[in-house]
Amino acid sequence: MSNLEKILNNKTSCKSVWFMRQAGRYLPEFRKIRSKNEDFIKLCLNSELSSKITLQPIKRFDLDSAIIFSDILIVPYALGQTVKFFKKKGPKLNQFNYKYFLDTNENEFLRKLKPIYKAIKLTRKKLDKKKSLISFVGAPWTLLIYMLDLKKNNSKLNTKKFKSLENLDKIMDKLILFLCLHIKNQSKAGANVVQIFDSWAGLIPDKLKKNYCFIPNKKIVDFCKKHKIPTICFPKGIKKKYKDFNKFVKPNCLNLDSSINPIWAKKNLKNVVIQGGLDPKILLRSNEEILKRAMKYIQTFRDIPYIFNLGHGLLPQTDPDKVNKLIKFYRSYNG
């Protein structure tokens, strides 16, 4: 069992570190592969290359866990939407077709995602047994932001469009079912843990947070509990509602975003393992500043189960050398 799983199962308090978006854009060896593979979804579905990219940060750094190289948008793709990635503008999906969405059956969905499960199998074989392989999905709300194009260019919710939506609850229910299926199959292929990314949870109007964030995350977490799959939830941007989220959803672990004060988190988030929090922008500063800010998290959580990670993904401009220094600092710190 890896340190990550020991902590998630409350077996012991030990050190564990991995970073969101550790396999990707900031690594020259990734960029080299990416430059030869223009279609990003195709790259995610190339099992050999996906496995290779997953292991790239493990080769470089002293990390406990690998996260499978894929994307949250692979699920909308498997449900029939075309997904394209544009430099600077981010991902764009073609017009959502409700009928086609409802018509997609499980076999068709799983057939499209088979290469991901193969990549997990390949990676699990190559990865040290003492390290975890993390699988992931996007939470339903965050996926709907992309599937239904609900975000304006300034990263705010397109309220007018959101209010005019029909069948939202039905779409949500089918998504939850298929996300659970994807989680189960990633676990069957050898993934040890799942992280549920609700990256755009902060855009949900407060009155609707329960309906579109808490309830869907809880349904997925309950499914995982039934199948004994440890869960890490990341309801990014919901501020003090992290406390209500934790009480309602009860995941094994909660990833803090950078706006959450670690001291507040320690006081208010009970019966859950805490992960992350450190602002990824800090990694663009001097070594001194990085270690000072990292120390705040390490110190605050030194006497409770804590997984060292960030408050969001590593930025593309990050210097891999600084990532290495930060991991070494965490490993050697005995305060």
Closest distance between ligand 1CP and the C-beta of residue 215, in Å?
A: 20
Interaction between residue 205 and ligand 1CP (CB under 6 A): no
Q: What are phi and psi of 142, to 5 degrees?
A: -65, -35
Terminal CA-CA length for the chain: 26
Interface characters, 225-264, with ligand 1CP (x: CB under 6 A): ----------------------------------------
* Residue (70 or 186) nearer to ligand 1CP, CB: 70
Beta strand 83-86 with 65-67 is unpaired
Interaction between residue 21 and ligand 1CP (CB under 6 A): yes
Interaction between residue 60 and ligand 1CP (CB under 6 A): no
Closest distance between ligand 1CP and the C-beta of residue 69, in Å?
A: 5
CA atoms within 13 A on the CB side of 102: 7
Segment contacting ligand 1CP (CB under 6 A): 70-78, 103-111, 184-192, 205-213? 70-78
Report the site for ligand 1CP in 87-126 (rule: CB under 6 A).
Answer: 90-91
The residue among 285, 289, 265, 280 whose CA lies nearest residue 312 is 280
Find residue 273's DSSP bridge partners.
Answer: 253
Whole-number Å distance between alpha carbons of 75 and 147: 10
Q: Which residue in the set 313, 315, 329, 333 belongs to the binding site for ligand 1CP (CB under 6 A)?
A: 313
Report the site for ligand 1CP in 123-162 (rule: CB under 6 A).
Answer: 136
User: What HEC string does 84-104 produce?
Assistant: EEECCCEEEECCCCHHHHHHC
Q: Which residue in the set 4, 71, 187, 274 belongs to the binding site for ligand 1CP (CB under 6 A)?
A: 71
DSSP one-letter code for 308: B
The residue among 265, 175, 164 whose CA lies nearest residue 212 is 175
Report the interface residues with ligand 1CP, using CB under 6 A: 20-25, 34, 40, 67, 69-73, 85, 90-91, 136, 197, 199, 312-313
